[in-house]
Structure formats: C-alpha cells, structure tokens
Amino acid sequence: MAGNFNHQSTADDVLEGINLQDKRVLVTGGASGIGAETVRAMAAKGAEVIIAARNQLQAEEVQAAAVAATGNQNISIVSLDLASLVKVDAAAREFLQRFDRLDVLINNAGVMACPFDKTVDGFELQFGSNHLGHFYLTKLLMPALLNAGSARVVALTSMAHRMSPVVFDDLQYERREYEKWQAYGQSKTANALFAVGLSARYANQGVEAFSVHPGAIATPLGRHLSDAEIQQLINANQTSANNPEAAEGGIKTVAQGAATSCYAATAAELAGRGGAYLEDCQIAQVVADDPNFRGGVRDYAIDPSHADQLWSISEELIGQ
C-alpha cells in the first residue's frame, strides 16, 4: 500500500509481489534514464515491454541489458520521434499492426530547459514534444488501451510545473520572450492537465491516467544544463523546507526516480483516482504557490476546466 513507500523507494520496492506476466507496457523514452529503469523493472515482473525511442542504438542496448538482467525475452522496440506528428503517427501505426491491446502506456520521454526551437510541425519544442507528441500518441493508441479492458496511462510531469501554468493565449511564445524554464514548466503543467482530461473522458471505459513527478534525478534529461545550473538545482533542493531528501542533496537515484511511474502503473489502491498527481509514490497534496515548500501540486495543474481547454486546443493543433 501507499503508506509503505516514500521518496527513497525504488521501482523494485514498488513492484514487489506484483505479477505482470499478462500485461503489455509501452514506455516512451525507454532508451535512457528512468525510462530504461522502468523498462527493466517492469520486465523483471514478467511484463511484455515495448521501448518507444528515437535512438535505435540506445534502445537496442537497453533491450539487451534488460533481457540479460531479467531473463525476459519479451522486450521489443518501436521507433518514436515526438517532435514530428508524422513520425508519431508512424509509431502508433506500427504498434497497432503488431499488437491488439495495451495495458499500460508510460509517457516518460521529454526534453528539458532547451534553447528555443520548434518541432517539425512548428510548435515550441518543449510544449510540442512533452505534451502534444504524447497527446497525439495516446489518442492514436486509445483503441489498444480500450481493448485492454482496464488500462492506465502515466504522464510524467515535474515539480517544475510550478514555474508556469499553461498560457493559453501564447502557447508557442509568439508574443512573449522565451524563457527555457518557464517553457518547461508550461509543458509539465500540460502533462498533469492531460491526465485529468484523459481520465474525465475515458475512466468510465476503463482507462485511467495519472501524472507523476519522479523527483530530481541526474539523467540525460539535463543535457541542456550547464554544471552551474545543475548545482543550482541541487542547492535549491537542499534548502527547500519540508524536504526529506535534503540530506542526500535532493537527488534521487535512477531506481528511486522510476518508482512513482511504476506505482502509478500498477497500484491497486489508485483505481478510481484517475487524474491524480503523484509524487514519492503517493497522491500529492494541493499546495499554494510557496517557493520555500518542496513538493505538492498547484491547483492550476489539476483544474478540470483548464484540462478541458487544453484538450480542445490540443485536438485543434494536431488537426483532429
């Protein structure tokens, strides 16, 4: 149960005693970081796992390592580039041709605090990849999720959602100056709102979604950050109030970082709680905008009306 887990829990801790042999799991960004650990942990419990990733070579390395570590041969790869709607469509088509159902979709891939850039389709890169690419992929895979009878979608968000709500009148930074952390924050708020919107539309058909803040983890996600920026993040984690991780510098291991994703994907006690924002393997409390308070979720990131507005705009942007 949730009470047994905390910020130090690992993916293996969360999955102890759980049998996933009849489950099929797709992990975006499964070729590195906490995505790769999520692949291994799920495979160790018998799940059939599909790694969806842009880098084929890295995906093959993770596949081979997971097979060697778990003995589970049922790990495959689908090529996915979230910065192109055409390539997202191709990935979904490949999946649907090969598989009839999907029990768990973990939207783990992401880009963080990058210089200003645009996707192939002209969207601001962080919003376009982190939110719209996953939004489109999930919509396309919905037939397979519905076929599972009872399925879960896990959307990786971040405590960085506090850096910005979704700015509906300028999503693409066409009228305001680009700021990389604000843009990342907007995309992470969108990830949380996506879980709210999806659950509102599909929970009664057996598909629930949860958003997950994995914690601060040193992974390739931080490749756009300087050493000084990384140290600044560590310092901020150490000095935040109510921070049980401060003694460890606020940084989780990769195994700890994958824990909440695995919890969201499998915990029986979460049934019926779709749309919830999770951190440290539990539902987070809603907190006011207090920069000294670590953790929790801002109310704007789980607001049903904002989720509806984002859903409608996202459908327009992807042309659906």
Where in the sequence numbering do the catalytic residues fall? 184
Radius of gyration of the chain (CA): 18
Residue 227's Cβ-count burial label (10 Å; 0-12, 13-18, 19+) is exposed
Q: Could you tell me the two tokens for 282?
A: 């539990």
**H or E, element range at 261:** helix 259-266
Residue 224 · residue 115 · CB < 8 Å: yes
Q: Alpha-carbon distance 243 to 223, whole Å?
A: 25
Number of neighbouring beta carbons within 10 Å of residue 3:
8
Q: Alpha-carbon distance 108 to 36, whole Å?
A: 10
Beta strands in the chain (DSSP E): 24-28, 48-53, 75-79, 104-107, 151-156, 207-213, 216-217, 251-252, 277-279, 282-283
Q: Could you tell me the two tokens for 150?
A: 């009872």
- The single-letter DSSP state of residue 252 is E
Q: HEC string of 99-129? A: CCCCCEEEECCCCCCCCCCECCCCCEHHHHH
